[in-house]
Amino acid sequence: MAICNYSHFKPISLTPSTNRCRFESSTSRVLTFRCNNSLASTQLKAEPEPVLTSVKSFAPATVANLGPGFDFLGCAVDGLGDFVTLRVDPDVHPGEISISHIHGVESSVAKLSKDPISNCAGIAAISVMKKLGIRSVGLSLELEKGLPLGSGLGSSAASAAAAAVAVNHIFGGKLPVSELVLAGLDSEQKLSGYHADNIAPAIMGGFVLIRSYEPLDLVPLAFPAEELFFVLVSPEFEAPTKKMRAVLPKEIGMSHHVWNCSQAGMLVASVLRGDLKGLGLALSSDKIVEPKRAPLIPGMEAVKKAAIEAGAFGCTISGAGPTAVAVTDDEEKGKEIGYQMVDAFMNDGGLKARSVVRKLDRVGARVIESNP
């Protein structure tokens, strides 16, 4: 039996020439992961019955892009995220899902719809139900937002990941992680665009490289060091993903292309080697995306400078922003770096901000409670 690099993977076939496990999707996309051998094919043959009456799941916040890794690199952050409680509900029409309650971060709750086809958690849950072929059971979903919308911390991906994992688990975990990522992408595509640098690490944990989108090919990157801390500083300012993507250049010069490719290569190499100094240097070196987005976030350039002067190995915009992310190897040093970044947001941008220091989440979305 083969063992994939990521323990949650359940591949159904192997492409011999590439030594990759291959997953077929109902959306015709293919998701591949590097594995060491072949596994027997497994397919769902009948509608599964629920094995639990309710589950509660958690999915972590994520940092996408990491500087030059625009749309193809992201990682999960420990201790921040969204929760989903899912129940088998006889009052919900079979084959459908109802969002019963949304609570948590007040600014997020006020803007979210309870209509499941307009809610990131609802869309992902529906997608998983379709993949499982659920027609005989109705479900109700409760969403607890721990992440504000438009924060640059993968708020929509966290909700989608938690919902996808919850639905799959309540029916016995029949779907492999590949299909959960695709379900999350259904949600991301409808709300902010078809990019997996949030949803993949939210589900899989750790660092994840998106090698391609057609077919979808995800590569988990093992980070060997323990002393990695993210300093996350979030100002009271919203940066909607669609707005922040709209400012990006349609074309780039060859010199910037070569520069960003070399920095992205250094970023991946540093992750695999556990090289924090190299990681920080690379994530601070984007010449394509960050220069267009930073001016839209008051004080961001001063915040980046303050972080590095305070001892951070590097600093950049988390996702589309406005959260700034710095990296260090010491939690106490991270707190001091955060203080300096908060001051810079206020002094140069006129924005109140709060800082937290968190480690890498190596697990990803998971069930934390269940009832038979």
- pLDDT at residue 18, as a whole number: 37
Give the pairing of strands 139-145 and 97-104.
parallel
Domain with CATH 3.30.70.890 in the chain: 229-359
Instruction: State the pLDDT at residue 106.
Output: 79
Residues 6+ apart with CB under 8 A from 353: 233, 234, 235, 236, 341, 342, 345, 346
**Could you count the other beta carbons within 10 Å of the beta carbon of residue 16?**
8
Protein fold of 33-221+362-371: Ribosomal Protein S5; domain 2 (3.30.230)
| Superfamily of domain covering 229-359 | GHMP kinase, C-terminal domain (3.30.70.890)
Q: pLDDT value at position 31?
A: 46
For the chain, what is the total number of helices (H) and then of strands (E)? 11, 14
Are 58 and 145 within 8 A, CB to CB? no
Question: Exposure pattern of 22-47 as b/e (b: 16+ CB <10 Å)?
Answer: bbebeeebbbbbbbeeebeeeeeeee
CA gyration radius, the chain: 20
Q: Which residues of the chain have pLDDT under 70?
A: 1-45
Instruction: Provide the token pair at 57.
Output: 């799941």
pTM (predicted TM-score): 0.86
Per-residue confidence (pLDDT) for residue 45, from 0 to 100: 65
CB 85, CB 104: distance < 8 Å: no
The CATH 3.30.230.10 portion of the chain extends over: 33-221+362-371
Task: Write down the pLDDT at residue 43.
Answer: 45
pLDDT of residue 297: 96
CA distance 165 to 60: 12
User: What's the pLDDT score for residue 177?
Assistant: 92
Dist. CA 131–CA 179, nearest whole Å: 8
